[in-house]
A and B are shown apart, each in its own frame.
Chain A
Amino acid sequence: MMEKRIRVLVAKPGLDGHDRGAKVVARALRDAGFEVIYTGLRQTPEQIAEAALQEDVNVVAMSILSGAHPHLFPKVVELVHEKGMKDVLIVGGGVIPESDIPALKKAGIAEVFTPGTSTGDIVDFIKAHVK
């Protein structure tokens, strides 16, 4: 029997329009054999949590380049958990200063991928940590 494929929601929370990274990561995850759903731009945390529930994903991967991550990343975690999806692996990436990372991890972001990360590292991380 084939193993169930990992389902990933790639999401752009907030108003930031820079989605080169999100799209490249989405495609790399798909090429790595995951099932990938991309939300498109300008999603509220509520929309992302709802999409995660509807699509029954294992992973939510968010990208923000605007600096709104301290507010938006934790908000998504909170709403995803509120919907009862405690096992969903939530990761983030973007232009994020090193000093912001501990607080994001404390808020439930499993890993933060900063500029220069290879897509291979993201694939490996997800494979190793997805529940």
Chain B
Amino acid sequence: MSTEKEKIQAELTQYNASAEKAIARFPERPNLPEQRLYTPLDIEKNDYADDIGFPGVYPYTRGVQPTMYRGRFWTMRMYAGFSTAEESNKRYRYLIESGASGLSCAFDLPTQIGYDSDDSISEGEVGKVGVAIDSLADMEILFDKIDLGKVSTSMTINAPASVLLAMYIAVAEKQGVTAEQLKGTIQNDILKEYAARGTYIFPPRPSMRLITNIFEYCSKNVPKWNTISISGYHIREAGSTAAQEIAFTISDGIAYVEAAIKAGLDVDAFAGRLSFFWNAHNNLLEEVAKFRASRRIWAKVMKERFNAKKPKSMMLRFHTQTAGSMLTAQQPNNNIVRVALQTAAAVMGGTQSLHTNSRDEALALPTEQSVMVALRTQQIVAYESGLADVIDPLAGSYYVESMTDKIEAEAWDYIKKIDEIGGAVAAIEKGYIQKEIQDSAYKWQMDVESNAKIIVGVNKFQVKEKPVEGLLRVDSSVGEKQKQKLADMKAKRNNDAVAKALAELETACKDENENLMPYILDAVRTYATLGEICGVMRKVFGEYEAHTNL
């Protein structure tokens, strides 16, 4: 064995000498990673059985299921929603007819921050980045003629996740579908809202209570529901590196697990329903390594730190979205190619579901035609590329294995650092995570501006372009329409029932031992609005105030 190693070492020395000679005549491109070639020596510390192993087996480096895409492909889940519930319902049905296998709801900002469409703070924002939901009445329209017993639905909702989940359960009830049958995910990840995404409402403590209330309620009543999607996506979009993305997110995950255990839950009762959400960025091989490293870290965290016993509790299952921040407004068709490569990374990294961005999203919300190209990109990768035919195809690559180890080590360093600060909540309150992300974002921008990093069409290969035509416009009358609908609904509902449900919710909020989910569900059934319900919680819990340092 050691003679083999010595032989490789000797040949590597020779190779390096010849490479240096070649560089003297043909200098290498600037700004490349230091190491140009990877050999068996780079992964000699790697133990196949312990570190890499088999798919479906701890530490899950090669994937969480034994057969991965040979059984069925990842869920092709296109994030969509805009304007009114009527418009978004049309888009969802169009996506399902086009072969999308799951829904993913985008809500407008007032909905995400717990304000009704008629609130003055909502002006100009209603229906813009997603669909406006004020009450159960909107939710009934949103899922009209969509069988909630069959479809799986992901909802990008965080601070008011409990309310939207309650509305979903209530719509299902009306369709005759029980909560036990429901499949889907709520994002419900408040920590990354403080650190990177910005749609927080309440301070950390009551927010963590709402989250653990949901874990507990779902473990008993909505067993197939993914109760949280612990998200690195937005941390990466805010500018982090690949290692920071998984490190900060896994630290958030640790905080949720700790909170739930502290609330008296058994780790194996809820951990199997935790899911993750990663970014698929431009550097294909680095991304594949990142996905693999994240599975290995989480498995170790759950087994060694939290003594989880069930294999499901140790499996990092994840959704992926291609990187929105890597789309360019310049030469938008180039984005189709970027998204295809990012899709390849997500698939070779073993994602459970995927949203592909559309080429026009650096300019506006996507049109139906560009969404179709994005969905077709996934279908081409699935059916034509061969990438989904074998499991974890890049395993054993000297480079990818070595990169997987490197990202894992870098992430552990951050996780330890955050532990020392006192965990993710403390690290966010101190601004540590935000500062790390900001520094990486600034470095990226400066690298682009100094041409150390090339973005095709932005700082190289630019052309003079005509403005892009045919962008999607959200009808500006949506705000008025939504206000009118809300007024009509309020005139029809039983306001005494609403007041009673809200009063009961308020009392429950004040008692930390109460699980709020049943109270929220009762309020939702009376057609109490999102703003009214969140208003009650704002009154008891207060609001989070961010302190931003540049």
Contact = CB atoms under 8 A, between A and B. Distances in A.
B109 A20 contact: no
Contacts of B112: 15
B350 interface: no
A71 interface: yes
B202 to A, nearest CB: 14
Interface in B422-460: 438, 441-442, 445, 448-449, 455, 458-459
Contacts of B188: none
B129 to A, nearest CB: 5
Interface residues of B, number: 46
Interface residues of A, number: 36
B328 A19 contact: no
A42 B112 CA distance: 13
Nearest to B193: A17
Interface string B299-331: 000000000000000000000000001011110
Interface string A83-109: 000000000000101110000000000
Contact of B125 (A14, A26, A30, A120): A14
B198 A30 contact: no
Contacts of B193: 17
B113 A15 contact: yes
Given A28-B445, A97-B364, A99-B467, A20 B123 contact: no
Contacts of B455: 116
A20 B109 CA distance: 17
B506 interface: no
A95 B363 contact: yes
Contact of B546 (A30, A41, A44, A66): A41
Nearest to B115: A15
Nearest to B113: A15
Q: B129, B455, B471, B550: which has the most chain A beta carbons within 10 Å?
A: B550
Given A20-B238, A67-B129, A70-B476, A116 B124 contact: no
16 contacts: A14-B124, A16-B129, A16-B198, A17-B198, A18-B238, A27-B438, A28-B442, A38-B548, A41-B198, A44-B121, A67-B129, A67-B365, A75-B124, A116-B458, A118-B448, A118-B449
Interface of B: 109-110, 112-113, 115, 121-125, 128-129, 193, 197-199, 237-239, 325, 327-330, 362-365, 438, 441-442, 445, 448-449, 455, 458-459, 467-468, 471, 474, 476, 546-548, 550
Given A20-B325, A120-B449, 12 more contacts: A15-B112, A15-B122, A18-B237, A24-B442, A27-B442, A40-B548, A42-B198, A66-B128, A67-B365, A95-B364, A119-B445, A119-B449
